[in-house]
Structure 1
Amino acid sequence: MEIEKYCQLIDFIEREVDGIKGEIEGIGNKKSLSFHNLALDHARSIVILINKNSQSSALALLRVLYESSIRGCWFKYCATQDQIESFIENDHLPKLKKLVKEVDEKMGFSGILDTIHNNDMSTLCSFTHSGVIQLSSNFNGKTYKNYYTTEQIEGALEFAVFYIRISFMEIISVASNRNVELVHSNFETHLTSALNGTKTVG
């Protein structure tokens, strides 16, 4: 996904999320939306960092965006009351791989989330924890600067958008002052445009 298209998609999301009203019942659901809001916050931060030529820091946010989205889904669809209380009291959750597997099953992703996790987690960790991928992309043997390719950045943005979509849809689903079906439709139009490189209005 082109950076400009990613920015346009984030702008659309922020316009739709701004001023949302809705009744949220249950501590698990409230925590869920907090996590999804964190995911969108990380999504916006990626834009800011890339525009400041701080690609390494932008990519380091991919894992926390991903974890925030998965945790948001898990709290809504999977977590027991005991697990919710354990998190509140001890900041403890099951391992991420377990969360992913449970969310995949509960939300009907048919193994897609589990496959993505298995394929991409090591790369996400390298980005976040200053691993080999980060180091090799910041030094060419002579000079220290960002050497990420356009393909690397655009691939990372497509990964981010997969989970941004999940978190955005979860947030919009509680809105009482939005035409949820229309927002969903408009988002999919923007997303398709972004992935195909075409223009949209609005």
Structure 2
Amino acid sequence: MKAVKEYRALVDLVRWIDDHTAGIELPADERSQIAVGCFDVALEHQAAIAHLYSVQLYGSMLALLRVLAESMVRGLWLHSCATDKELTAFKKGRLDKTFGTLIAEYENVLRTPDGVLSQFKSSAWTQLNSFTHTGFLQVTRRHKPGRVESNYSDEDLCHAMGAAGALGLITACQLITIAGRHTLVPVFEEKMSEYASPK
């Protein structure tokens, strides 16, 4: 099964990210701390996705992928785009922007409109919502002939773990950038290229 290989690659990647981000010194300003909190949550979700696969809790694993993406995108937007007023509103539990708007504003700052994150949203967002909010895609994968139980395709599981790996790499690269460890950026870019190669 390809999913088993994808799982092993994800576990190795989680360890690799931990090895390459452990002990980095991060800025103490409020904006950075809030963004780093988002990134840390995203990396925890990445590790949880690997663990949930290992214990065959596939529905929960797939549901968590959207949450990982949201954690990462919020961190990117809060660090690079949010005004002081928007940062204050976030601290009060308000973020009146859609996921698509956060991506668009972040990619505009980077001068890469319709970039990788927009493409990810365009290709995966409907499915992620269905898995997270117990929509049709999630429900239809709970049936086997004569039984109600997990019935996810190898392809579903591979895609989820591959996406979790890629999102985690983007997140970790942002952490090292915030930490000013720019010499590590090429190392992360090389790892991204390697991870995207067929396993």
Q: For the superposition of Structure 1 and Structure 2, which TM-score range results when normalised by the shorter chain?
A: 0.7 to 0.9
Measured after TM superposition, the shift of residue 58 of structure 1 is 0.7
Counterpart of 1:83?
86
Aligned equivalent of 2:36, options 11, 33, 47: 33
| RMSD value, Cα | 2.0
Query: Does the 8 Å contact 1:2/1:197 carry over to 2?
Result: no
Mark the runs of 5 or more structure 1 residues left unpaired by the alignment: none
Per the alignment, residue 64 of structure 1 pairs with: 67
Structure 1 residue 186 corresponds to structure 2 residue 187: yes
Contact 1:43 1:160 in 2 (8 A): yes
The structural deviation recorded for 1:180 is 4.1
Q: More helix per residue: 1 or 2?
A: 2
8 A contact 2:26–2:179 mirrored in 1: yes
For residue 163 of structure 2, the aligned residue among 159, 163, 166 is 159
Cα distance in 1 between the residues matched to 2:143 and 2:158: 20
Q: After TM superposition, list the pairs within 5 Å mapping 1:26-175 onto structure 2.
A: 27-112=30-115, 113-175=117-179
> Secondary structure at 2:92's aligned position in 1?
helix
Report Cα offsets for 1:52-83 as digits up to 9, x if no partner. Answer: 11111111111110001100010111100111
Aligned residues: 194
Counterpart CA distance in 2 for 1:180 and 1:104 is: 20
Equivalent position of 2:197 in the other structure: 196
Which residue in the other structure is 1:20 paired with? 24
For structure 2, the 5+ residue unaligned runs are none
Distance 2:54 2:189 in 1: 25
Greater mean deviation of Cα atoms: 6-15 or 112-121: 112-121
1:10 Cα deviation after fit? 0.8
Q: Secondary structure at the match of 1:2?
A: helix
Identity percentage of aligned residues: 24
Distance in 1 (CA, whole Å) between partners of 2:93 and 2:139 is 34
Q: Bigger CA drift: 50-59 or 183-192?
A: 183-192
Q: TM-score, normalised by structure 1?
A: 0.86
Distance 1:84 1:77 in 2: 11
Say whether the 8 Å CA contact 2:66–2:128 is kept in structure 1. yes
